[in-house]
Structure 1
Amino acid sequence: MNLPNDAAGQEDVRAIISRHAHREGALLPILHAIQADRGWIDETAIRTVAHALNLSRAEVHGVVSFYHDFRTRPEPRPVIKLCRAEACQARGSEPLAEWAQSRAGDRVAIEPVYCLGLCSVGPNAMLGDDVHARLDQASLGALIEAL
């Protein structure tokens, strides 16, 4: 993870911008790529993106603060994103989320996400880039304990 004012980190942000700036609606792909690269989007990156796309800092900050997936600070804990969309709710994700939060304590962040696209095999969770399906207390507990 790059530090916010790290010159190499800002060069990485500029490289991400150059890969996506030609796209229509480039802001979200750029922000997602920065988030994936760094784990968070700092104020310096927001200024750099705003300048490159000819947007105000407020416009870019508004997008960053609106979407749940974007972070403005690094998360020191591992993150499990647990689907809370309707199909997973119908398969028990709400009580599973409560149980997972009590099991994870302060070691692991359990965050809601609304649809991972595996509705027929829910409840689902994402850990890093890996999606885990058909979760129950045993399988989700094993994920938490492995972190």
Structure 2
Amino acid sequence: MKYSQGKLQSIIYRLRNAILGIISFGIMLTIGTILGYGPSTGFIQLYVVSLIFVPAMITLWLFIFNSGSSKVEEYAIEFSDDGLHYEHMAERDTVKWSEYKSYKVSGIISKVLTIQAESQKIIIDLMRFNAEHRKSIISELNKRC
């Protein structure tokens, strides 16, 4: 079974990360201002624009140009008879079931899946996938324990 990040989920994920970045920057800025270390206005504008502009351009590029036979699977997890395959931006990590040891889900705001094998560890941000896929991925891993 293969679980892929859809285009809508990709947009939601990038938007969520940009918003969390702006919120965390706002908290740090507030603390810095209280302590008397306020940054310049130009720095704040550059930071906020980069948090919004860069993810927006990457998303737009993937949405428009990532199609057809040259389409790059952004993020996907595939469960096969021989193991688990994690595809991320044209790279592929594989854990054979014979080497699989355990998994762990951690995080409060962002759920991170860590898959432990004998010779490697794969770390996957589960928030890249929709809620239904997240449940199915965990269910598949539970079957292998």
**Whose strand proportion is higher, 1 or 2?**
2
TM-score by length of 2: 0.23
More contact order relative to length (CA 8 Å, sep ≥ 6): 2
Give the TM-score taking structure 1 as reference length: 0.23
Structure ID, larger Rg: 2
